[in-house]
Structure 1
Amino acid sequence: MLFGKLMPRDGNFFEKFNQHADRTVQAARAFALLVANYGDAQLREQYNREVDEAEHAADRITQDVSRTLHLTFITPIDREQIHTLINTMDDVADLLQDAAETMALYDVREMTDEIVRLTELCVKCCERVKDAVSLLSTIGEAKSAEAALKTCEEIDKLESDADRVMRTAMSKLFREQADVRELIKLKAIYELLETVTDRCEDVANVIEGIVLENA
């Protein structure tokens, strides 16, 4: 039993999840500002940088969780759930950075209504993920467990909305875009943004599993 007494207990994982969710929301909101101010090169660079900074901060938290997990003897929830949750959350932040970088690398000319709509859905999904994550520390309480499951349902609905926007965007793109290069660029952006919502849904699924097993 001496080994167990010497090893850290708990690891403050819930707080680290909250910190990561905060950084992801920061990245999403910075990306939304990037889209909204795309015509201004200086602001575009500023918000691109803010997306990068938020993603790098999220990466550091992910690495911290992995290190802490290896050093923690007793964890508040299943170790595999901790590992899966933080890495799935990190995928969301990575994809937001990928979308911002792809816009810059591909030199996308202008923002379409579909990019704006998908971006709005990405921000809402990230905000709902943050809400759901904030409830994990108290899921032993029926009220928190119910709220977490309801928030996960909201994320699922937002992801479904993004699917519909994506289908409409692709249909319009292939019907109306005559410039093949521009078509390829926009298709890549649409796919990245829709995948952000997919990963948010993955996070919601992990949280649902945690709630059902621990509530």
Structure 2
Amino acid sequence: MFFGKLLPREGNFFELFNEHGNKIAEGARSFMSMLQNYDDVGLREKYAAEVDVAEHEADRITAEVNRALHRTFITPIDREQIHGLINAMDDVLDLLQDSTETLSLYDVRRIPEDVLRLGDLSAKCCERVQHAVSLLPKLSEPKTAEAAIKTCEEIDRLESDADRVMRSAMSKLFREEPDVRELIKLKAIYEQLESISDRCEDVANLIEGIVLENS
């Protein structure tokens, strides 16, 4: 018993998850603002920089979680769940940053409506991820566990919506875009944006597993 008391316990994993979730939501809002103000170069650069800041801060949190895993003997949930969840969350912000950089590197001059629609769905997925993560500390409460599952289901529906929008956008792109270079650019951007919702769904699936095992 005395030995058990000496072992490092718990850590602040849920707090770090919540901080990371906030960065995902911040990055998604900045990304969407960039798309909505794309014609204004000054605002575009401002919001792109905000996405970069959110991604760098999230990387710091991810590293802190991984360090805490090495220091902590008794964790609040399974160690593999902690490792998988924080890395899946980090993938979301990495893709937001990648999408921001792709728009710049490919010298995209206009933002089609389908990019805005995919961006909006991706941002909504990110907001729901933040909400689901914020519920993790209280999963022992039945209502909280139910709310977490419901939020994960919302993410799944948004991901399905993003799939449909991307298929429609791709079909339209290959039918109507005469400029091959523009087609290649937009195809890559559509795929990256849809991947953001895919990664959000990965997070949702992990959270559902945590709920089922720990509620």
TM-score of the pair, normalised by structure 1: 0.98
Aligned to 1:79: 79
Aligned to 2:96: 96
- What residue identity is the alignment partner of 2:13? F
Percent identity over the alignment?
Answer: 68
Aligned to 1:39: 39
Per-residue CA deviations over 1:90-127 (Å, capped at 9, x if unaligned) read 00000000000000000011000000001110111011
2:155 is equivalent to residue 151 of structure 1: no
Q: Distance in 1 between matches of 2:135 and 2:44?
A: 34
Aligned to 2:25: 25
Cα pair 1:7 1:71 within 8 Å, conserved: no
Per-residue CA deviations over 1:129-182 (Å, capped at 9, x if unaligned) read 111111110111111110000000000000000000000000000001111111
Cα pair 1:21 1:89 within 8 Å, conserved: yes
TM-fit CA distance, 1:6: 3.6
Cα pair 1:88 1:199 within 8 Å, conserved: yes
Runs of 4+ in 1 over 6 A off after TM superposition: none
Q: Distance in 2 between matches of 1:42 and 1:98?
A: 20
Aligned to 1:178: 178
TM-fit CA distance, 1:5: 3.6
Aligned to 2:199: 199
In structure 2, the CA distance between the partners of 1:2 and 1:185, relative to structure 1 (3 Å rule), is farther
Q: Distance in 1 between matches of 2:3 and 2:71?
A: 11
- What residue identity is the alignment partner of 2:111? M
Unaligned runs of 5+ in 1: none
- What residue identity is the alignment partner of 1:149? I
Aligned to 2:65: 65
Per-residue CA deviations over 1:33-81 (Å, capped at 9, x if unaligned) read 1101111111111111000000000010000000001100110000000
Q: Give RMSD over aligned pairs.
A: 1.0
TM-score of the pair, normalised by structure 2: 0.98
Question: Residue 90 of structure 2 aligns to a residue in which SS?
Answer: helix
- What residue identity is the alignment partner of 2:207? I
Unaligned runs of 5+ in 2: none
